[in-house]
Structures are given as C-alpha cells and as structure tokens.
Amino acid sequence: MRSVIDTVELSVEELEELISTAQDIIAHPSKYAHVCDGKKLATLFFEPSTRTRMSFEAAMYELGGNVLSMPDAASSSVAKGESVSDTAKVMSCYADIIAIRHPKEGAALVAAKKASIPVINAGDGGHCHPTQTTADLLTIYREKGGFDNLTVGFVGDLKYGRTVHSLINALSRYSGIKLVLISPKELALPRYVIDNTIKPAGMEYVETTSLEDSIADLDIIYMTRIQKERFDDPVVYERLAGSYVLDAEKMKLAGPGCIVLHPLPRVDEIAVDVDGDPRACYFKQVLNGKYMRMALILKLLGEAAREPRKEGLPQGVDPGAEAAAEGTAPRRCRNPKCICAAERSIPHLAARSADGSLRCLYCEERL
Ligand code: CP
C-alpha cells in the first residue's frame, strides 16, 4: 500500500503530476466536487496544527469525502497508553486514508507499516513534513515558473525545521540549485541531511550565520520559526529566539524577483510590515497547500483502489520479514526524539547511507 513519508518517495514526474492536478482543481473545482464521495480521511494529530489539519480536512470535504478527526492525543486512547502501531491498525478499520502528525521522528513510518490503508506524514517531530513541501513547490512553480537554477536561502531553525529537510529533499532532484543555509551554529542543518541528500546530489551549499550578507543573491528567502517545542533546555531557546527578523527595511536589500516563503506559524521572524510586499508569498502557500493535499489524496486513493484491500482485519507487519528486507539495526537508535524511544515493540531497522554509515530507518540519525 503506497504511503508518503517524505518527498523523496515522490518522483519528479509524480511531483509534476500533483502540480498539474492541483492546477486543474484550481481551474475546475466543480469537476472534483464528488470524486471522493463515500471516502473517509482520518486526521490523527498528536501535536498542535492549524494549517495542516484544517487544509487536509478542507481538501477532503472539497473532494466530496468525509473526515474522522482526532485533533489531539488527550481526546484519544493514546492518552491511555495506546501505541501508534495499534492506533494505525484501528483506524484502518474505519477510514480509507490517514494523515498523521506526531512529535516523535519516524512515527508516520511506523503507522504506514502497520496500517492497511495509505498513510500521509503530516509532520513527524523535527524530521519531515512532505505535504508542506508540496505547498512550497506549487508556490515556487506559480511564482518562479520552475525549480532549476534557483538560489534558496533557508533561514532560522534548520536543525528542527522539518519543512526545510523535506524541501531540500525535493529540490535535490533539480539542477543548478544553490543552498544558502543561514542559522545560528546551534541550529545548523542536521549532518544526515547534508550527508544523505545534499552531498550525493552534488548540490552547491554554504553555511553562514548572516542573512544580510547573502540576501541580495537569493531567489527565495525561506524563513522558519525557532521551534520552541523541540528544545530540551528553555534557556537555550530564549537565547536563540529572535535570531533573525525579516522586516521591510531588510527587504530593501532583496532583489525584485525574490520571493519570501514561510511554512507558518510565524512568531516574530517576519515583521507584519513585510505582508504587503508583493514578494511575500507565505499566505499563498497556505492556499496552495490545500490544493496539493487534494491532489495527493486523489493520487493515493486512486493507487489504493487499483490494489484491492485485503478482507478482514489489517495485516500485522512481520518484524522478521521487515528486518530481512531493510536490515536489522545492529544496535538501538539512541535518539531520544525517535519513535524507537517511545514504542519499544517496533523492530529496530537500519539503512545504509551514501557514505556507507548505518542510520536508523525511522529518524535517519546515525547509529
Ligand atoms: N505549516 C504547518 O505545518 O502549519 P501547522 O503547524 O499550523 O499545521
């Protein structure tokens, strides 16, 4: 059963197909108003969300389908200790497709392995957020006309900013992309993104702490929030909060064709005096996200329909077969933010990186 855990699982052709479907939805919404009649989307959100959950739900309603919503862990049996694995199996009995957000890295992959219906990662801790990337891509496509030969500045919390990791994964398939990675040293991009994605793709990149020094060279300024909820030490967060603020004065240094993106929510990293600038595209991203989620739901349900669902209860995953296919981890993942740390019954799986090192299959950290 096809699920989407990160953007690398969607080929360039599939991303273009999603963009094309989204544009057709924008042009002819009535054509799509009943294509999901009788279908149900389960939104399982164990972490706060405004855009992702609401846009998934709006997307399903606009396709004619219905929604089963679990808006927080407190209102579900997760509060009684139920695992992600069991929750995914249970929801497979009620719904046709799942969108899941969870604070632990790799939680969506666990759900995908246990569910018998398609699972979409709506954000797993500081790891990935592929549907935000689809929103980013449609916005870039509509504003810049394509993806090749762009200089993209990622600004802020590149360590925990899952939207940054997923967008870099997507952009790694295009040519002539230059990355300017602008962050405090403590919030630099994780090594695994550089080692597993940027270097194998031969992408040009530079790491810096200064936005002002590079802003004039950027085609895209991708601002991010410092992710308060991911810090172990609040004192460190307080020290780093407010590291970068993009305001109208700084926008005078940016080129006329440069666009400003932000996955939102923002705290103070983009001043409201930038909102009226025609180069500010972060609210366009919000709307584009709904259309791309409509396109993705349609694609995955279409593929699932061609792969008939087994009768009866969802099939459990055989840890032995899984380990044989992907490689049993020689030792436990030590990342406390990984789903492995919370869900002791899942098999510990490893994959080999381009540089030959072993990484946890769930969170991608080195073992
Ligand atoms: N961009 C994004 O994921 O927003 P929410 O946290 O509000 O869903």
Mean pLDDT of 294-300: 98
User: What is the atom index within ligand 1 of the atom nearest the CA of 129?
Assistant: 3
Mean pLDDT of 134-143: 98
- CA of 51 relative to ligand 1 center, distance in Å: 5
pLDDT, tens digit, for every residue of 87-97?
Answer: 999 999 999 99
Q: Which two tokens stand for residue 98?
A: 């799942």
Q: Does the pLDDT of residue 120 top 70, yes or no? A: yes
81 Cβ contact list (under 8 Å, min separation 6)? none
pLDDT band (50, 70, 90) for residue 315: very low
Residue 242, ligand 1, Cβ within 6 A? no
The pLDDT of residue 353: 81
208, β-bridge pairs: 182
Mean pLDDT of 61-72: 96
User: What is the atom index within ligand 1 of the atom nearest the CA of 123?
Assistant: 3
Residue 156, ligand 1, Cβ within 6 A? no
Residue 134, ligand 1, Cβ within 6 A? no
Task: List, as own/partner pairs, every contact residues 353-359 make where C-beta atoms lie below 8 angstroms and the sequence separation is at least 24, other chains included.
Answer: 353/192, 353/195, 353/196, 354/195, 354/196, 354/199, 354/200, 355/195, 355/199, 357/195, 358/327, 358/329, 358/330, 359/192, 359/196
Q: Does the pLDDT of residue 102 top 80, yes or no? A: yes
The protein residue whose alpha carbon is closest to atom 5 in ligand 1 is 49
Question: What pTM did the predictor assign?
Answer: 0.93
The pLDDT of residue 212: 96
Q: Please tell me the distance from the alpha carbon of residue 177 to that of residue 197, in angstroms, as a whole number.
A: 13
The pLDDT of residue 132: 98
The pLDDT of residue 183: 97
Q: Does the pLDDT of residue 49 top 90, yes or no? A: yes
User: What is the atom index within ligand 1 of the atom nearest the CA of 289?
Assistant: 1
Q: What is the DSSP string of 137-157?
A: HHHHHHHHS-STT-EEEEES-
pLDDT band (50, 70, 90) for residue 337: very high
Residue 302, ligand 1, Cβ within 6 A? no
User: What is the atom index within ligand 1 of the atom nearest the CA of 47?
Assistant: 6
Q: Please tell me the distance from the alpha carbon of residue 301 to that of residue 309, in angstroms, as a whole number.
A: 11
The pLDDT of residue 164: 97
The pLDDT of residue 186: 94
**Residue 59 burial by Cβ neighbours in a 10 Å radius (0-12, 13-18, 19+):** buried
The pLDDT of residue 310: 55
Residue 266, ligand 1, Cβ within 6 A? no
The pLDDT of residue 73: 87
Longest pairwise C-alpha distance within the chain: 61
Give the distance from CA 324 to its chain's centroid. 28
The strands making up 259-261's β-sheet, listed across from edge to edge, are 204-208, 178-182, 151-155, 220-223, 259-261
The pLDDT of residue 312: 43
The enclosing H or E element of 85 equals helix 84-92
Which has the minimum average pLDDT: 62-66, 75-79, 287-291?
Answer: 75-79
pLDDT band (50, 70, 90) for residue 351: confident
The pLDDT of residue 325: 54
The pLDDT of residue 319: 45
Give 202-268 as a 3 state SS string: CCEEEEECCCCCCHHHCCEEEECCCCHHHCCCHHHHHHHCCCCCECHHHHCCCCCCCEEECCCCCCC
Q: Does the pLDDT of residue 244 top 90, yes or no? A: yes
- CA of 322 relative to ligand 1 center, distance in Å: 32
The pLDDT of residue 355: 78
pLDDT band (50, 70, 90) for residue 314: very low
Tokens 């994605």 belong to residue: 197
pLDDT band (50, 70, 90) for residue 308: low
Q: Does the pLDDT of residue 30 top 90, yes or no? A: yes
Mean pLDDT of 271-276: 98
Residue 49, ligand 1, Cβ within 6 A? yes
Residue 285, ligand 1, Cβ within 6 A? no
Angle (CA) 138-139-141 rounded to 5° is 65
The protein residue whose alpha carbon is closest to atom 1 in ligand 1 is 263
- Mean of all residue pLDDT scores within the chain: 93
**Residue 185 burial by Cβ neighbours in a 10 Å radius (0-12, 13-18, 19+):** exposed
Which phi and psi (to 5°) does residue 72 adopt?
-160, 160
The enclosing H or E element of 360 equals strand 358-360
Residue 132, ligand 1, Cβ within 6 A? yes
Residue 130, ligand 1, Cβ within 6 A? no
- Whether the ω angle into residue 265 lies within 30 degrees of 0, i.e. cis, is yes
**310 or 188: whose pLDDT is higher?**
188
Residue 283, ligand 1, Cβ within 6 A? no
